[in-house]
Structure 1
Amino acid sequence: MRYELLDGSVIMTPSPGRWHQTAAFELARLLRNSKPDDLVVLMAPFDVALAKDTVLQPDILVARRGELTDADLPAPPVLAVEVLSPSTRRIDLTLKWDRFREAGCQSYWAIDPFEPTVTVWELRDGDYHEVLVAHGAERVSVTAPFPLEFTPADLLQD
């Protein structure tokens, strides 16, 4: 089980399944191989302490190296990625999306491994704006938090 703290309430979700883990691992590998030296890519479980009553664990996070502690990230990540599962979809696309937006996380991505689909939001003027939705073999091409290209189908290579 994974445990997160959201506005003082404990959220407990089951362990992720095979396709969730496959997509998360492949995207983390792509991000790690492309990132600049001042950024770090980490996979859950790793705490992002947004407030005393809100400690979240995105499936993948990209953080500034200097903002990390050995125990957690006490600041918003540069990028938070959630891989959607039936048990977490609503939380990932509403509550966590909103908390990362409020904290100032510059980019938020949702990966649906069952479609497969990648949706990218970027923070502008305090709000998330959807900048990209790609399905299957369609190309994902982003510049933030750093240049990266892949397809949603690439994430399901096991």
Structure 2
Amino acid sequence: METKDKKNFLNEPEATYDRFSYADYLTWEMDEMVELIKGKIFRQAAAPRRIHQEVSLKVARKLAQFFEGKKCKVFIAPFDVRLPIKSKKNEDIFTVVQPDICVVCDLDKLDEMGCLGAPDLIVEILSPSNNQKELIHKYEVYLEAGVQEYWIIHPSEKTLFIYTLFEGNYLPSKLYTMGHIVPSAVIKGFELDLEWVFKDLD
């Protein structure tokens, strides 16, 4: 696929072009955060809100403390996660996401560009500008790529919802909220106290 220069497409309808690949993505110099989902561009509309950043920092810090001295690594956005389907060639990868938080335990998936392949755990934190992207589009690509566990945190509603991969499908959890201590099915021994996560956020 021929790459598309940033100057030629940013202000034009996306339908003008075929889907974009990671090879295209590497040629762009964007001022804002950009993700590719099945070849379609998704831009970060604005900087995340304060409550989003507070929750992200708390959860990432808790995970990092848990993995201290262990092989798994924790990464926060911006951090490119490439999700190949059939080929790992740059021109054949059409999904490149930047999860709010991800955990990678297979360190062979890490390279200087980020992560190539599905992380073990992904945490996405909702905000008004990204709810549809996280709840619909990313659900589909995370399932297809084989992300073992996908956490969705809604800071304003103070809730957590989990999808756990089982026999090729996602099993949904109940809706967790203040007062729950939530275990991970994939990261054995890790628990998140939602009372601690959501307190003092208003």
In the alignment, which of 70, 75, 94 is matched to residue 37 of structure 1? Answer: 70
Q: Could you tell me how far 1:132 is from its partner in structure 2? A: 4.2
The worse-fitting range, judged by mean Cα deviation, of 49-58 and 34-43 is 34-43
Structure number, greater radius of gyration: 2
| 2:99 is equivalent to residue 58 of structure 1 | yes
Q: Is the CA contact (8 Å cut-off) linking 1:6 and 1:53 kept in structure 2? A: yes
RMSD between superposed Cα atoms in Å:
1.5
Written as runs of structure 1 = structure 2, the 5 A alignment for 1:102-117 is 102-117=144-159
Of 1, 5, 11, the match for 2:42: 11
Residue by residue, what CA displacement relative to the aligned partner does 1:126-152 show, whole Å, maximum 9, x if unpaired?
111113421112221224223222232
Separation of aligned partners in 2, 1:156 and 1:22? 9
User: The residue matched to 2:42 in structure 1 has which SS?
Assistant: strand
The equivalent of 1:20 in structure 2 is 52
CA distance in 1, matches of 2:75, 2:188: 16
- Residue 145 of structure 1 corresponds to 187
CA distance in 2, matches of 1:101, 1:69: 23
Amino acid at match of 1:32: A
Is this contact kept in 2: 1:134–1:151, CA < 8 A? no
AA at the equivalent of 2:75:
L
Shift of 1:69: 0.7
- Could you tell me which runs of 5 or more consecutive residues in structure 2 were left unpaired when the two chains were aligned: 1-31, 85-92
Q: Which has the higher relative contact order, 1 or 2, with Cα contacts under 8 A spaced 6 or more apart?
A: 1
Aligned to 1:82: 124
Q: CA deviation at 1:85?
A: 0.4
Identity %: 32
Structure 1 residues without counterparts, runs of 5 or longer: none
Contact 2:80 2:97 in 1 (8 A): yes
Alpha-carbon separation, structure 1, partners of 2:98 and 2:54: 18
Could you tell me which amino acid in structure 2 is paired with residue 7 of structure 1? K
For 2:79, the aligned partner's letter is F
Deviations 1:43-62 (A, max 9, x none): 00000111311101110000
Aligned-pair CA distance for 1:26:
0.4
**2:159–2:177 contact (8 Å) kept in structure 1:** yes
Q: Match of 1:46? A: 79
Higher strand share: 1
Kindly indicate whether residue 157 of structure 2 is the aligned counterpart of residue 126 of structure 1: no
Deviations 1:65-121 (A, max 9, x none): 232112110110001110000110111011101101100010000011111011111
CA contact (8 A) 1:139 1:151 kept: yes
